Amino acid sequence: MVNKTTILLTTFFLLALLQPLFSQEKQKKAELPVLITSCGQSPGPIKMKIFMKRLKFDYEYNLQATAEDLIAKKKAGKPFKSLIIVTGASLKGMGAAGISIDDELKRIKKLMAEAKKEGIMIIGSHIEGMARRSQGAAAGDNSDELSIDVVCPQSDLLIVRKDGDEDGRFTTISKVKKIPVILFEKNMELGNVLKKLYQK
């Protein structure tokens, strides 16, 4: 029979393991308005847009947003305070947009450089799970991984669906680059993540 001391020690140990994730969520707060874009033209940003709309947050959705869009918004007197870049490459999506992964990476690098220059919080996100990552790998295409490489290590915060981190890719980036990461289990939990992140 398990005694009380064992239960208490086990509980303490589990809380200690979970504490980094909780503290990361408390440390980082984002401000509105936010610009949502894609690096790879996958369907992922649509999910982000849906939750932003439900929460009635001040956002703009532009899959091909550029550095010039940040500049124009600032000139209009309502600069973006945060930028969410949803990683995840879709050959179909890029084909429909008439762009290549190289085009995407060049656009995103310039966009992130301008965001950093203006002090805009950059949130790198991967919310389609391992299915998105393995899909490209199975076809011999590394576009998805390239989008992660460019965005995530340069972000101020990461939001990742937990099953997309089965190989520890994002948690490793988090530890090495000292970037807070918020992991969530299911799509429906994304709304709560965004609510905690943006509400004061």
Mean pLDDT of 127-131: 82
Domain ranges of the chain: 29-198
Instruction: Give pLDDT tens digits for 1-23.
Output: 445 544 444 444 444 444 444 43
Q: Tokens standing for 69? A: 């869009």
Please report the pLDDT score of residue 18 as a whole number.
43
pLDDT for position 130: 80
Confidence tier at 134 by pLDDT (50, 70, 90): low
CATH number of the domain at 29-198, out of 3.30.1360, 3.40.50, 2.30.42, 1.10.3470?
3.40.50
Q: What is the pLDDT of residues 78-117, one digit of tens each?
A: 999 999 999 988 888 888 989 999 999 999 999 999 999 9
Query: Structure pTM?
Result: 0.83
HSE, side-chain direction, 13 A CA sphere, residue 31: 7
Q: What is the residue-averaged pLDDT of the chain? A: 86
Per-residue model confidence (pLDDT) at position 16: 40
CB atoms within 10 A of CB 187: 14
* Strands (E) located in 101-156: 121-126
3-state secondary structure labels for all residues of 78-109:
CCCCEEEEEECECHHHHHHHCCCHHHHHHHHH
